[in-house]
Every structure is written in structure tokens, then in C-alpha cells.
Amino acid sequence: SKVPPIILNNGVEMPQLGFGVWQVPDDEAERAVATALEAGYRSIDTAAIYGNEEGTGRAIAASGIPREEVFVTTKLWNSDQGYDATLRGFDTSLARLGLEYLDLFLIHWPLPSRGRYVDTYKAFEKLHSDGRVRAIGVSNFLPEHLERLIAETSVIPAVNQIELHPHMQQHAAREFHAEQGIATEAWSPLGQGKGLLEVPAIVAIAQKHNRTPAQVVLRWHVQLGNIVIPKSVTPARIRENIEVFDFGLDEEDLAAISALNEDRRLGPNPATFDMG
């Protein structure tokens, strides 16, 4: 494969770069995932709330790629938190994907005000010990939520998928994850394409390496050790975004991108987000 793996804390290998399908309707997701698999992606990131687990599953099945060569992530939606609801939510997602097992299951949001993420995670531990999911983790958890989870459950999350891009670099979270052996996965790694790819410093580095701004930003993540899941429905961009393992940024490039941090979120604050 053209994408190297990250070894998760339970020994499972996860491709460092995968394909995200947020905001892609089911039929379009099927086409986009098919294009991504043809381009060499072997990791797909969906979620129950995205409404495209079926199209994602159809594309994987139709690809003819052996099941064990594709790493599939989905996420439990907020309304399914709680022990029993989680087990049902998992079954529903797996059936929609048309899979026998899942590679990575994430709690989509912590919803701290509802106080159910520990019970939810205990159901994740059961799914893991039953062999129905190879790795379990969380998304949008702040260090304080991870600390509580680690204190009250037995399996350290393999992954925390958080908003992370050059305008929101998440230094404290990344450091905490590293101390705990949790892999950091970046959502909206390209800043949703909203302005980040036109920032002069990034455009200049792209010109210097004869690459695109998107490739430069993805390469910055890779060199930091982040797992990335860029999204596109445009075939040329889907192919472009995976071609980031045959060049390198130098110290000066990395420093110039790191100087762009503004601690500015595009998405909601996990401490207060309480939807669904």
C-alpha cells in the first residue's frame, strides 16, 4: 500500500491516511468511496449520523478488495449513548455497512452534560471483547473526558478523533494523547477547504515543492504523526490527497505552518455540544 500504518495501542494497524465522507449523500458516497479505493485508500471514515453507511458498504463490497485489507471506521451517534442503546446502534451500523466486523468504533461526541459516555464505552468494551470490533475509541473528547474514561473503564481508547488543522493545532490534546498512548486522528484536516488552502505561507511551500496546498497540509499532519481523513467528492482531488508519501517538508516548512495556529475551531466546542 502507498499509505504507511500507525500501530494502535492494541497492536492493530490503521492506515495513517484515510477517506472521510461527512456531508456526502449515500449514492454519492458510494461513488466517492469507489474512487478512493481505486486510488489506493484502504481506510474509510463514516458515522451513523452521516446517512451513508449503506453506500460506503456497497462500494467496499463492489471493490473486490479483501475485507481484511480495508479499515472501516464508524461512529455511534449521540442519541444512541447508554449501554443497551449502544449495542443496538452498533448492530444497526454494522448491518447498514453490510460487514461482519468493524475495524474502529468511536463515540462521536462526549456530551458531558448527559453523563452517559462511561456506560456507552463499557458497551464498546463488550463489543471489543466479543471480537465484533478490532479497536475502540472516541471522538471530540477533551483530556478531562479521557481522564474520567481511563479511570472508570479498562481499555484505553485507541484513537481520539478531533478537529485538527493548521488553524487549530490542539497542542495540549496531542501531548496528552501521546502520554496515554492514544493515537490522534485529525478531522477536517484541510480546514474544510475554507480559506486554509489559500493562506500565502501554505501556497508558497506548495510552490517550493511543486505540490498543491492540500498536499502540503496533509504532509504536515503526516510528519506530526497524526492520522488524517481528508474528504472530497472530486476524483482528481481524491487522487491528489493520497499522494503525500513521496515528498517531505523541511524544518522551515514545518515551522511556517506551525506558526499559523490560531486555536480557532470550525466545529462545535465538545464541552458544550449537546445535539441529537
* Helix/strand/coil for 120: helix
Q: How far is the CB of 95 from ligand NAD (least distance, A)?
A: 20
- Complex with ligand NAD: residue 45 or 253, whichever CB lies closer: 45
Active-site annotation, residues: 50
Subset of residues 18 to 57 that bind ligand NAD, contact rule: CB under 6 A: 20-22, 45
Cβ atoms 165, 190 nearer than 8 A = yes
Number of residues that bind ligand NAD (CB under 6 A): 26
The whole-angstrom separation of Cα 65 and Cα 23 is 25
The whole-angstrom separation of Cα 173 and Cα 250 is 24
Q: How far is the CB of 272 from ligand NAD (least distance, A)?
A: 14
In angstroms, the Cα distances linking 172 to 25, 34, 200, 235, 273 are 34, 36, 26, 35, 20
Q: How far is the CB of 97 from ligand NAD (least distance, A)?
A: 14
Kindly write out the interface string for residues 206-225 of this chain, putting x where it contacts ligand NAD by CB under 6 A and - elsewhere: ------x-x-----------
Subset of residues 235 to 254 that bind ligand NAD, contact rule: CB under 6 A: 237, 240-241
The whole-angstrom separation of Cα 129 and Cα 178 is 24
Beta bridge partners of 139: 161
Per CB under 6 A, residues contacting ligand NAD are 20-22, 45, 108, 139-140, 161, 187-193, 197, 212, 214, 229-232, 237, 240-241, 267
